[in-house]
Structure formats: C-alpha cells, structure tokens
Amino acid sequence: MARPATDTAPCAEPGETTPEERQRVVEALRRIRQAGGKVTLRELHRLAALPQPVVLRCVRHLERAGAVRVEQMEHDPLAGEVVLL
C-alpha cells in the first residue's frame, strides 16, 4: 500500500548534485508524465542515465524543494513512485 510522506527518498551517499543532474532527473520525469506512465525510484536512474546514488540525491533535493513527491512503499523503499509536481 502506498503512503505519501515527506522527505522519503531513501538515503543516498552524502554529497551534492549538480544542476545538470537534477535537470536530467526532471526531464526523465516529464517524459514519463507525458507518456502517461509511472516510475519508481528503482527505475528512474536508468531513464535519467545517471548512477542510482546520484538520482537518489537528486530526488531528495527536488523533494525538499517541493518539485517532486515520493509515494513510499512500506516494505520496499525503492519501489516508491516518484511524481513530478
């Protein structure tokens, strides 16, 4: 069962993300939304063509900025759906 939460992106290694990396994540989310699809944290790194730890940091940054929401799955943090707001 999905449950909305705040700041729910799984913890990634500490570090900063670049504006270019965040833009790649946002563009991947836009493509998915335009196609009428859904994407999980587990899948997003392939669509953004970035390493998974980088995508997790980007999602956390975007979530804190209010640009995305992660609908967390209770038993599998990477199965949470990422929604562009």
Tens of pLDDT, residue by residue over 45-58, are: 999 999 999 999 99
Average pLDDT over residues 44-73: 95
Nearest-angstrom CA–CA distance, 72 and 60 = 13
Domain limits for position 58: 2-84
> To the nearest 10°, the Cα dihedral for 23, 26, 32, 33?
-140
Supply the pTM of this predicted model: 0.81
Q: How many domains does the chain contain in total?
A: 1
Q: How far is CA 74 from the centre of its chain?
A: 16
CATH at residue 26: 1.10.10.10
| Residue 14 confidence class, pLDDT cut points 50, 70, 90 | low
Average pLDDT over residues 3-32: 76
Average pLDDT over residues 10-24: 78
Share of the chain above pLDDT 70, in %: 84
